[in-house]
Amino acid sequence: MFIFGYNHSFSFEKDYLMTLVMILCVYTLVFVGISAVQLAFLQRQKAQKAVILDEKTYKEAANIAITNEKFSIFSRVYTLVLYALWVFFGFAWLGKFIISTNSTLDNTLFLLTFLVVNMLLTLPLSVYEDFVKNKKQGFSTMSATLFVKDTLKSLILLVIFGFLLIYALIFCYEFLGQFWWLAAFGVAFVAILIANVLYPTLIAPMFNKMQKLDDKALQDEISALMNKCGFSSKGVFVMDASKRDKRLNAYFGGLFKSKRVVLFDTLLKAMSARQLLAVLGHELGHFVHKDLLKGLLNGALMIFLLFFVFAHLSEISSFLGLPDFYEQANLVFVGENGTNEPLKSGVFVLLLLLGEVFSFVFAPFINAMSRKHEFAADKHGAQMTSSSDMREALLVLAKENKAFVKSSKLYELFHLSHPSIDERLKALA
C-alpha cells in the first residue's frame, strides 16, 4: 500500500480484501435496495386512483418522486466511486504533496484539501440537479451566475470555518492523550451550537436577502401567536427563496437571542393568512415541545458515539479480525526512524468515509422520533388555528411542492424524518 515518508517514497501491497471499500459497497447495495423498494411502491401507487391531490398533480408528483429516487441512487453510486478512488489512490497522492512531518498543520491542510476537492468533484451532481432535473420539474429558478456565487461563498465558508474546526480537532488528537475524543466531541458540539447561533444572522444573509415582513396585519397576528407560545425572536423575516426555487417553506432559525422567524416569499404568495398561521403554529409546536433541544441532545449523542467508535477503530477492527483501516485507506505515515503511525487526520477521514454508514444504522430510531415530533407539531398548529386550517396548509404544501402523498414503510423507516402527507392528514381527521 501507499505509505507516507519524508522522502515521499511509496510502495503498494494488495494482499488482502479491501474491507473498507467492501463496507461502503455493502452500504450502497442496501441503500439501492431500499430505493428499489420505494420505486416499485411509487410505480404501483401511480397506477392507482389519485388520493388527496387531483389526478394530474398526483401523477406528476409520483413521476417527480420516481425521478428523484433514481437520482438519489446515482448520487450514492457516484459517491461510492469517489470514495473508492480516494482510498485506492487519492489519499496517497494528496499526502505526497501535503504531508511532510505529520504535524497538526500538515494534517489540517490534508483534511481540508480532501473536503474542498471532494466538494468540487460532486459539483456535477449539483449542476445536474439545479439546471436539469429541478428545472424540468418546474422548481428551479437558479441562474448560472447565482450558482457560481453560491459555490464560491460555500467554498470560502468551508475553508475558513473548516480550517479552524479541523485544526482544533486534530490538536485534541495530538495533545490530549487517549481521551482526546472526549475533547473533540466537546469541540464539535460547541461548533454546532455556534453555527446555529450564527446561521440566521451571519450565514443565511450571505446567500439570501432577509427583509422584515411589511404586512402589518399579518405581523401582528404572527406576533400574537408567538406570544401565546412564549416564543421571543428578533422578528419575522421574508427570504427571497424564489430566486433559486419555487417550493414553499418556513422555519424558526437560530438559538438564544438570535432566534428569528423566516418565511419563504413563495410561501407568502401561495398561502392565505390562516394557512400561514397554521404552518407557523406547527413550527412553534416544535418550540413548545422542546424538539430543538431534543434534536441537539440526539445529535450530541450521535457525535459522542461516532467519536468513541472511531477513536477505538483500530482496536475494534483487530478484535473482529479485520485489516487495519488506516493502512487500507493509505492513511499511514512513516517517520524518520521507519516506524509507521496513523496520520493524525486519519481518524477524521475515516469518520467522514464511514460516518454515513454508522448514522444509517441509527436512522430508524432517529426518524421515528422525528416523525412523532411532526405529528405533535401538526396537532399544535391545529390548536393554534384550527384543524381545517392545518389540513389546508398541508394540502397547499403538497400541491405546490408536488410532494407525493405516500411512502413505503421500509423507505420511511430509513429515510423519512417527516410522515407522509397522507398520514399527517389522517392524524388530523
Residue 378 confidence class, pLDDT cut points 50, 70, 90: very high
Q: What is the mean pLDDT of residues 257-285?
A: 88
Residue pLDDT, tens place only, 265-277: 999 999 999 999 9
For 262, the 3-state DSSP assignment is strand
Query: What per-residue confidence (pLDDT) applies to 332?
Result: 82
Residue pLDDT, tens place only, 162-187: 999 999 999 999 998 889 999 999 99
Q: Which of 79, 82, 114 is CA-nearest to residue 95?
A: 114
Residue 339 confidence class, pLDDT cut points 50, 70, 90: low
Q: For residue 341, is pLDDT > 80?
A: no
Q: What is the mean pLDDT of residues 367-381?
A: 95
Query: What per-residue confidence (pLDDT) applies to 184?
Result: 94
Q: For residue 7, is pLDDT > 50?
A: no
Mean of pLDDT over the chain: 88
Q: For residue 234, is pLDDT > 80?
A: no
Computed from CA positions of residues 366, 372, 378, 379, in that sequence, does the dihedral angle turn out positive or negative? Answer: negative
DSSP per-residue letters across 323-365: PPHHHHTT-EEE-TTS-EEE-TTHHHHHHHHHHHHHHHHHHHH
What lies within 8 Å, CB to CB, of 400 at 6+ separation is 246, 247, 248, 266, 270
CB contact at 8 A, 238 and 263: yes
For 250, the 3-state DSSP assignment is strand
Residue pLDDT, tens place only, 133-170: 999 999 999 999 999 999 999 999 999 999 999 999 99
Choose the weakest-confidence range: 161-170, 213-222, 316-325. 316-325
How many Cβ atoms are within 10 Å of 229's Cβ, its own excluded? 16
The Cα–Cα gap between 366 and 204 comes to: 26
Kindly state the cell numbers that stand for 382. Answer: 391545529
Query: What per-residue confidence (pLDDT) applies to 317?
Result: 74
Q: For residue 369, is pLDDT > 50?
A: yes
The Cα–Cα gap between 171 and 180 comes to: 9
Q: For residue 13, is pLDDT > 60?
A: no
